[in-house]
Structure 1
Amino acid sequence: MTNSIALVINTYQQAHFLSASIESGLAQTVPFDEIIVVDDGSTDNPASVVARYPAVRLVTQPNAGLGAARNTGLKACSSSYIVFLDADDLLMPNAARAGLTCHALNPPAGLVYGAHRRIGTQGEPLGGDVYSEMGIDAFRTFLTGNVIGMHATVVYDRLKLCDIGAFDASLPRCEDYDVYFRMATKHPVRSHSEVVALYRWHGQNMSADPSVMLKWVLCINDRQRAFTAGTVLLEDERLLGRRVWVRYYKDEMVSDLKRGYRAQKALVSVTRNLRFAKIATFEVGRWFIHRLERVYRRRAKSPSCN
Structure 2
Amino acid sequence: MSSIALCIPAFNAAWCLPRLLESANNQSIPFNEILVYDDCSTDNTREVAVKYGAKVITGRVNKGCAFGKNQLAAVAQSDWLHFHDADDELLPNFTQVAHKWINSESAPDIILLNYNYIDFNSNEPIGSANFNRNDLLDDTSKFVIVNKIVNFAICKKLSFLSIGGFNQNTEVLYNEDRAFYTRALLHQLRFDYEPIITCINYRYAQSMSASNMLKCAQAYYHVSVELANALGHRYPTEIAECFWKNAQLSAQYKDWTLTRKNIIGARKLQSKAPASGNKFFNLICTFFPMFAHQLREFNIRLLKPQLRSEQ
TM-score using structure 2 length? 0.76
User: Could you say which residue in structure 1 is the equivalent of 2:217?
Assistant: 214
Residue by residue over 1:73-113, the C-alpha shift from the partner in whole angstroms, topping out at 9 and shown as x without a partner, is: 11111101111111111111112222332344572511001
CA shift for structure 1 position 182: 1.9
1:144/1:244 contact within 8 Å kept: no
Question: Amino acid of the residue matched to residue 69 of structure 1?
Answer: G
Alignment of 1:184-223 (within 5 A): 184-185=185-186, 186-205=188-207, 209-223=212-226
Deviates more, 1:63-72 or 1:124-133: 124-133
> What is the total number of aligned residue pairs between the two structures?
263
- Could you tell me how far apart the structure 1 residues matched to 2:82 and 2:162 are? 16
CA shift for structure 1 position 191: 0.2
2:247/2:260 contact within 8 Å kept: no
User: Could you say which residue in structure 2 is the equivalent of 1:57?
Assistant: 55
1:7/1:36 contact within 8 Å kept: yes
User: Could you say which residue in structure 2 is the equivalent of 1:265?
Assistant: none
- Could you tell me how far apart the structure 2 residues matched to 1:281 and 1:155 are? 37
The 1:240/1:45 distance shift into structure 2, 3 A limit, reads: same
CA shift for structure 1 position 285: 5.4
Deviates more, 1:205-214 or 1:87-96: 205-214
- Could you tell me how far apart the structure 1 residues matched to 2:9 and 2:265 are? 37
The 1:218/1:195 distance shift into structure 2, 3 A limit, reads: same
User: Could you say which residue in structure 2 is the equivalent of 1:155?
Assistant: 154
The 1:176/1:219 distance shift into structure 2, 3 A limit, reads: same
1:143/1:238 contact within 8 Å kept: yes
User: Could you say which residue in structure 2 is the equivalent of 1:176?
Assistant: 177
Question: Amino acid of the residue matched to residue 116 of structure 1?
Answer: Y
Alignment of 1:1-20 (within 5 A): 2-20=1-19
2:2/2:102 contact within 8 Å kept: no
1:110/1:183 contact within 8 Å kept: no
2:240/2:271 contact within 8 Å kept: no
Question: Amino acid of the residue matched to residue 107 of structure 1?
Answer: S
Alignment of 1:263-274 (within 5 A): 273-274=253-254
Where do 5+ consecutive residues of structure 1 fail to align? 254-271, 293-306
Q: Does 1:167 align with 2:166?
A: yes
CA shift for structure 1 position 215: 1.4
The 1:245/1:59 distance shift into structure 2, 3 A limit, reads: same
Question: Amino acid of the residue matched to residue 193 of structure 1?
Answer: P
- Could you tell me how far apart the structure 2 residues matched to 1:123 and 1:291 are? 41
2:237/2:271 contact within 8 Å kept: no
Question: Amino acid of the residue matched to residue 126 of structure 2?
Answer: G
Alignment of 1:32-111 (within 5 A): 32-53=31-52, 55-62=53-60, 63-104=62-103, 107-111=106-110
The 1:278/1:13 distance shift into structure 2, 3 A limit, reads: same
Give the secondary-structure state (helix, strand or coil) at the position aligned to 1:205: helix
- Could you tell me how far apart the structure 2 residues matched to 1:284 and 1:17 are? 40
Residue by residue over 1:170-222, the C-alpha shift from the partner in whole angstroms, topping out at 9 and shown as x without a partner, is: 24212221121222232210002111111122223378733221211121111
- Could you tell me how far apart the structure 2 residues matched to 1:167 and 1:236 are? 27
User: Could you say which residue in structure 2 is the equivalent of 1:259?
Assistant: none
CA shift for structure 1 position 124: 1.1
Instruction: Give the alignment's Cα RMSD to 1 decimal.
Output: 2.5
2:39/2:63 contact within 8 Å kept: yes
User: Could you say which residue in structure 2 is the equivalent of 1:258?
Assistant: none
Deviates more, 1:89-98 or 1:237-246: 237-246
Give the secondary-structure state (helix, strand or coil) at the position aligned to 2:205: coil
1:39/1:61 contact within 8 Å kept: yes
TM-score using structure 1 length? 0.77
The 1:123/1:20 distance shift into structure 2, 3 A limit, reads: farther
Residue by residue over 1:278-298, the C-alpha shift from the partner in whole angstroms, topping out at 9 and shown as x without a partner, is: 534543455356236xxxxxx
The 1:285/1:224 distance shift into structure 2, 3 A limit, reads: closer
- Could you tell me how far apart the structure 1 residues matched to 2:64 and 2:265 are? 31
2:112/2:153 contact within 8 Å kept: yes
Give the secondary-structure state (helix, strand or coil) at the position aligned to 2:158: helix
